[in-house]
A and B are shown apart, each in its own frame.
Chain A
């Protein structure tokens, strides 16, 4: 068990080092969510004036949404690491060592989650600077980080799974581009539940992005509904388990194909 954990940590370290050594990559990871936050914040500023909108600050409303959106968008690319490793022969070299097989997926997910947690904290910081205030203090923000990481971890696992099965950069790019925007917009990320069309409300109930947005927003907003937060966290934990299982299966499929 300790060997498995140690190997998971080592695999994660490798990805973290690679990330830190690419300043452009780090810059994009930091700047992109800030742009989302400030751009959408400015664009939809007058949303608060719509009759029926509860609350007075769109930035405060938007911050949890952008945190969750970032989780989906960054984690979607996680499988790229595997594709690169396959292409270069790293994956095959690792598979002939006695390492615990799960460490490859687990290490890669751990990396996705660590970078994501940092991104979310930075987004919250920018939100605060832009004048938003969050209720429940640290606990609220902690819930937001947790749901973003659970969702991001699931997306990263699915991305890994797809990478292992498709083995093609193009397939992954296509899938991420195709999926991320619709699932982000079919939620209450940018607009309050009561103000979106009825059919979007129905779809959003089954959309994991929305589970994370609702939980994160409720935990950081006034009138926190802890029962809702709890149930959404439960859904997301289940999603993560299912996604991790799929990624593990994909690994087995990859090994059968070589």
Chain B
């Protein structure tokens, strides 16, 4: 069966910033696919290109079997898009927004009325339907955005950071709804997120994006099990030359992939708990002061660190700043 989304070697620069630097992507039909990466990794640019909003400098993409660059109008009919920003008209009511959205897809009359009623019901907006969107809470506005993306029953739904800025309860409710969509409607959903937890929970497959390229792709479990063993993180009291740390830790046999990033040392160990005492002893005998040490079961954070060479949070903060 043909992939729902296929992107090959997408490149796009905004001025001197290379937003996409040869991005490849394959998304199977009927799955929730997570595009995970820190702010500025190129996730939104990818979504903009796949949804026909913007054109790549080079590369090709197919969505729902249609060439995005050659037939954007046909792609538009097949997709639903929920952007990062609200996208509903504030002064209009929820119902008016949904009706206008349907009209833009050429749905009219009784059919439109029926579908609007359905999505209002489904997203628990029936009571608020005839109030201006301005009066909605953040969670209600987000639900309306998703409802607007679904009113024309798309084959592929794009959700660009759907839960950013939502409080935890609203986020959890939206997660359940997204899971239900993929399960009951066989819809393909491409979701971008910079929440590791969200990707872990929702995505059956994910691609980790960093600096405009996909650095790893697979199911969350497969990506985690590739790491083999636990992660050990040591925070040093002061920056040390990498060579000195690496030399000190080289003798510990069960430690692999040691990397030093300023005051932070990351390594992998088959059994984290048994490796930690040895690590501390080795550092102490080398005269290196340790501020803290921690151990983690494999997580997507570790997967990101391994493939992107830096910690997810650091990358996220740095790009955001």
- Known A14-B89, A88-B90; judge A258-B81 contact (CB<8 A): no
Which A residues touch B106, using CB under 8 A? 3, 98
- Known A7-B104, A21-B132, A92-B83; judge A98-B54 contact (CB<8 A): no
Measured CB to CB, the closest approach of chain B to A18, in angstroms, equals 4
Which B residues touch A95, using CB under 8 A? 53
A92 to B49, CA, bound (A): 12
Q: Number of A residues whose C-beta is below 8 Å from B?
A: 25
- Known A97-B101, A98-B73, A98-B105; judge A17-B96 contact (CB<8 A): yes
A21 to B148, CA, bound (A): 22
A40 to B178, CA, bound (A): 62
Task: Say yes or no for A99: interface residue by CB 8 A criterion.
Answer: yes
Task: Say yes or no for A96: interface residue by CB 8 A criterion.
Answer: yes
When the two chains form their complex, are residues A89 and B103 in contact, meaning their CB atoms are under 8 A apart? no
Task: Say yes or no for A255: interface residue by CB 8 A criterion.
Answer: yes
Which A residues touch B51, using CB under 8 A? 96
B49-91 Cβ-contact flags toward A at 8 Å (1 or 0): 0011111000000000000000001001101010111111111
A217 to B187, CA, bound (A): 62
Task: Say yes or no for B100: interface residue by CB 8 A criterion.
Answer: yes
Residue of B77, B81, B91 near A93 (CB, 8 A) is: B81
Task: Say yes or no for A56: interface residue by CB 8 A criterion.
Answer: no
When the two chains form their complex, are residues A258 and B48 in contact, meaning their CB atoms are under 8 A apart? yes
When the two chains form their complex, are residues A96 and B86 in contact, meaning their CB atoms are under 8 A apart? no
Task: Say yes or no for A6: interface residue by CB 8 A criterion.
Answer: yes
Measured CB to CB, the closest approach of chain A to B74, in angstroms, equals 8
Measured CB to CB, the closest approach of chain B to A164, in angstroms, equals 15
Task: Say yes or no for B135: interface residue by CB 8 A criterion.
Answer: no
Task: Say yes or no for A128: interface residue by CB 8 A criterion.
Answer: no
Task: Say yes or no for B108: interface residue by CB 8 A criterion.
Answer: yes
Q: Number of B residues whose C-beta is below 8 Å from A?
A: 31
Which A residues touch B103, using CB under 8 A? 6-7, 10
Task: Say yes or no for A94: interface residue by CB 8 A criterion.
Answer: yes
When the two chains form their complex, are residues B85 and A89 in contact, meaning their CB atoms are under 8 A apart? yes
Please indicate which of the listed interface residues A11, A14, A98 has the most CB atoms of chain B within 10 Å of its own CB.
A98
A11 to B96, CA, bound (A): 11
When the two chains form their complex, are residues A96 and B92 in contact, meaning their CB atoms are under 8 A apart? no
Residue of A6, A21, A94 near B108 (CB, 8 A) is: A6
Which A residues touch B83, using CB under 8 A? 89, 92-93
Closest-by-CB residue of B relative to A3 is B106
Task: Say yes or no for A139: interface residue by CB 8 A criterion.
Answer: no
In the complex, how many residue pairs between chain A and chain B have their CB atoms under 8 Å apart? 73
A100 to B293, CA, bound (A): 59
When the two chains form their complex, are residues A17 and B91 in contact, meaning their CB atoms are under 8 A apart? yes
A1-40 Cβ-contact flags toward B at 8 Å (1 or 0): 0010011001100100110011000000000000000000
A7 to B86, CA, bound (A): 21
Closest-by-CB residue of B relative to A97 is B104
When the two chains form their complex, are residues B54 and A258 in contact, meaning their CB atoms are under 8 A apart? yes
Which B residues touch A203, using CB under 8 A? none
Which A residues touch B104, using CB under 8 A? 7, 10, 94, 97-99
A85 to B132, CA, bound (A): 16
Which B residues touch A256, using CB under 8 A? 55
Measured CB to CB, the closest approach of chain A to B165, in angstroms, equals 13
A98 to B66, CA, bound (A): 14
Residue of A3, A85, A99, A255 near B54 (CB, 8 A) is: A255
Which B residues touch A14, using CB under 8 A? 89, 92, 96, 100
Which A residues touch B148, using CB under 8 A? 93
Closest-by-CB residue of A relative to B52 is A96
Q: Which of A91-120 contact B (CB under 8 A)?
A: 92-99
A258 to B106, CA, bound (A): 25
Closest-by-CB residue of A relative to B83 is A89
When the two chains form their complex, are residues A98 and B77 in contact, meaning their CB atoms are under 8 A apart? yes
Which A residues touch B91, using CB under 8 A? 17-18, 21-22
A10 to B92, CA, bound (A): 13
A99 to B102, CA, bound (A): 10
Closest-by-CB residue of A relative to B80 is A96
Closest-by-CB residue of A relative to B77 is A98
Q: Which of A54-96 contact B (CB under 8 A)?
A: 85, 88-90, 92-96
Residue of A11, A17, A21, A97 near B76 (CB, 8 A) is: A97
Closest-by-CB residue of A relative to B81 is A96
Which B residues touch A7, using CB under 8 A? 103-104
Please indicate which of the listed interface residues A7, A85, A90, A258 has the most CB atoms of chain B within 10 Å of its own CB.
A90
B162-175 Cβ-contact flags toward A at 8 Å (1 or 0): 00000000000000
- Residues in chain A within 8 A of chain B (CB atoms): 3, 6-7, 10-11, 14, 17-18, 21-22, 85, 88-90, 92-99, 255-256, 258
Q: 19 more A-B contacts (CB under 8 A) besides A6-B108, A14-B100?
A: A18-B89, A18-B91, A21-B91, A88-B86, A89-B83, A89-B85, A89-B86, A90-B87, A92-B53, A92-B87, A93-B148, A94-B104, A96-B76, A97-B105, A98-B73, A98-B105, A98-B106, A99-B105, A255-B54
- Give 6 A-B contacts (CB < 8 Å), ordered by A residue: A10-B100, A14-B96, A88-B85, A88-B89, A96-B53, A99-B104
8 tightest A-B contacts by CB?
A89-B85, A93-B87, A97-B104, A99-B104, A18-B91, A98-B76, A89-B87, A96-B81
